[in-house]
Structure 1
Amino acid sequence: MTQLTLNNIEKSYKNGIKVLKNVSLNIDSGELVVFVGPSGCGKSTLLRMIAGLEHITGGILEIDGQRMNDIPASKRGVAMVFQSYALYPHLTVRDNMSFALKIAKYKQPEIDAAVDKASKALKLDAYLDRLPKELSGGQRQRVAIGRAIVRNPKVFLFDEPLSNLDAALRVKTRIEIARLKESMPDRTMIYVTHDQVEAMTLATRIVVLANNTVAQVGTPLDLYNSPENEFVAQFIGSPAMNLLPGTIVNTGTQTTVSLNDECVAVSSVATSSKDMGKQVNVGIRPEHLKLTEEDHIVKAEVEITEALGEYTLLYVKNAMQDENLTAKIPG
């Protein structure tokens, strides 16, 4: 059972550039927590700081109550799976998976047992004598995951492990990672990705990073249904949430917003009298937009349609803003 705590973690370089600031987070034993955000937000840097591959310039990192800031990577009880697989090309699958255990001077029967167990779990037992060049991309990634499993770490760290795979293999390997987590319910896992689909499907909780700090933490459905800011609202969900500019015209438990002279009630938001007249953005998910020729709130004209089989995306032009609105309708 492993708990990981980040308390006001910061990362800056000698040139004064601050990559991360005021990152605080508690990760409970058995969670699969996903760090997600746009390129350059610091998610991989944060993972490497947890792994001990990057120096922590501010704050405290603890694993099971022990301060880890100055503990070498090899002593932290973590195992990392990299985007690039990082396999030794001249070693077989078996030797790649057992390499760390041999360096740690484990006895050969222990090594064989660990490799056999991991290879069967990952369906690699038929490939143990092959070289990496004889494997597919998905199989290589499974070898990298197996190499982490045999070390029996306290914490698994995944740094964009699926980004080098094609779309079909990403789905297949994502399912395998989910199965792996189900088979190891007491193990703590931290997973970095820029792909929100991976985040939504794998995570116990998601940590959204933006502007070098934490924008919001929550379960996948919490972030989707109750985003706390515009960045999270538009980053989580595909297509992105529509934002319509409006003005608050009634306050209290039943807030009303005027959208281009048409009023809409926003019952989930409580406001006070000081908010009267405030300019706001109203967020509407594409699947919540309905097309109608009557009783409309927003006048719009359909410009482009994308029929995707299960659903159709409509890109519509309205007089309230320059950007198109997106509607998602069945069929």
Structure 2
Amino acid sequence: MAELKLTDVAKTYGGTVDVLKDINLDIDTGELIVFVGPSGCGKSTLLRMIAGLEKITSGTLEIDGQVVNDVPPSERGIAMVFQSYALYPHMTVRENMSFALKLAKKSQAEIDEAVDAAAKKLQLTEYLDRLPKALSGGQRQRVAIGRSIVRDPKVYLFDEPLSNLDAALRVATRIEIAQLKEAMPESTMIYVTHDQVEAMTLASRIVVLANKGIAQVGTPLELYETPRNEFVAQFIGSPAMNLIPGKIVETGEVTAVELASGVVAHSAVPTQVADMGMEVKIGIRPEDLSTGSEADCCFKGVVEYSENLGEVTLLYFEPQHGGEQVIAKLPGVHREMRGQEVVLAASPEKVHLFAGGESLRYR
């Protein structure tokens, strides 16, 4: 398949509105790269520039070492699956999947072989003679994917392909895409989504886009466990990571963080980055918090509201002294917690420190 290289890629509209800038990214053959980010961050625009549907304002895009900035979309060796299925309603599944090959004047034997192979991979063989209206939403999306597979492209592009499906179908189709990738280990795929569950479960690496550029690139667990900045820390994970303001202090022989509420968080602070009095934010994921004691306190507060979800209980605490709402995600059922004062703790290795929006781990 293909390797892609984006170097200093930027997109500007009207010469004044910057949408993307300084995009530098290498994508290896066989990777499934997922672009995520908030609405308007430019993830679909970046995908369309790779496809050739949007012009690159500056910088270069290389596919297998060839600069393709001015190469037409049809000659880039790329197939794109859109958010809408865009199937021809009067054509059967077989006709929809074979249409591009007929336009390319392939022989009927080649067309049949490609369609049958793609249908087998996507479990569509028994539906080949049906019209799209006789298919479920998930099956229609598989047909759209199959239409790409038959072309045997260098790169597959997916633009939020599951967003039109209901929750159950999204889960089922997501699993099917993951299985499809396993069946095509050499295929290079780029996938755009706003759903972090899709990103975490599908991606070889995730590209988080924010502020017109790349906030961080890494494997799903790298982004979850070692976010480089507050944005990535809160964007990846649900509920979002808690950020609690405070400053670094020394209590006896231990370096700790005094929170704005006056509570001292006795979690380990890397001494090599600990400047006394430094304004910081403690970052702790809700699922890393547990009820503890004053000796290992990370946070203390009164439960404002609780949600018992069966497998977990979510505890909500009021924002304190300019901080954000703190959420704890405790396993199991915890009844009658509302109005109680709770001391929460987390293992030191689960505690993040941010200064100026950036993680101190990368100092």
Partner of 1:298: 299
Unaligned runs of 5+ in 2: 333-363
**2:94 is the counterpart of 1:94:** yes
Determine helix, strand or coil for the equivalent of 1:10.
Answer: strand
Q: CA deviation at 1:321?
A: 4.2
Q: CA deviation at 1:250?
A: 4.9
Partner of 2:81: 81
What letter is aligned with 1:324? Q
Q: Is the 8 A contact 1:50 1:61 kept in 2?
A: yes
Determine helix, strand or coil for the equivalent of 2:310.
Answer: coil
Q: Give the stretch that moved more between structures: 304-313 or 5-14.
A: 304-313
Map 1:187-266 → 2, pairs under 5 A:
187-250=187-250, 256-259=256-259, 260-266=262-268
Q: Deviations over 1:191-244 (max 9, x none)?
A: 000000000000000000011110000000000000000000000000100000
Map 1:45-56 → 2, pairs under 5 A:
45-56=45-56
2: distance between equivalents of 1:31 and 1:77?
A: 16
Q: CA deviation at 1:36?
A: 0.3
**CA gap 1:114/1:297 in 2 versus in 1, 3 angstroms:** closer
Partner of 1:289: 289
**CA gap 1:312/1:41 in 2 versus in 1, 3 angstroms:** same
Q: CA deviation at 1:121?
A: 1.1
Partner of 1:35: 35
1: distance between equivalents of 2:230 and 2:32?
A: 25
1: distance between equivalents of 2:291 and 2:97?
A: 55
Partner of 1:103: 103
What letter is aligned with 1:248? I
2: distance between equivalents of 1:268 and 1:104?
A: 61
What letter is aligned with 1:64? D
Q: CA deviation at 1:317?
A: 2.5
2: distance between equivalents of 1:119 and 1:301?
A: 57
Q: Is the 8 A contact 1:9 1:60 kept in 2?
A: yes
Q: CA deviation at 1:42?
A: 0.2
Please give the root-mean-square deviation of Cα atoms over the aligned residues, in Å.
Answer: 1.7
Q: Deviations over 1:223-276 (max 9, x none)?
A: 00000000000000001000000112259xx8532222414333457315xx33
Q: Is the 8 A contact 2:248 2:256 kept in 1?
A: yes
1: distance between equivalents of 2:181 and 2:148?
A: 13
Q: TM-score, normalised by structure 1?
A: 0.95
Partner of 1:276: 276
What letter is aligned with 1:262? V
**CA gap 1:162/1:249 in 2 versus in 1, 3 angstroms:** same
1: distance between equivalents of 2:310 and 2:99?
A: 47
Q: Is the 8 A contact 1:36 1:199 kept in 2?
A: yes
**CA gap 1:50/1:269 in 2 versus in 1, 3 angstroms:** farther
Q: Give the stretch that moved more between structures: 305-314 or 3-12.
A: 305-314
Q: TM-score, normalised by structure 2?
A: 0.86
Partner of 2:330: 329
Q: CA deviation at 1:324?
A: 2.2
What letter is aligned with 2:130? R
**2:107 is the counterpart of 1:130:** no
**CA gap 1:255/1:150 in 2 versus in 1, 3 angstroms:** farther
Unaligned runs of 5+ in 1: none
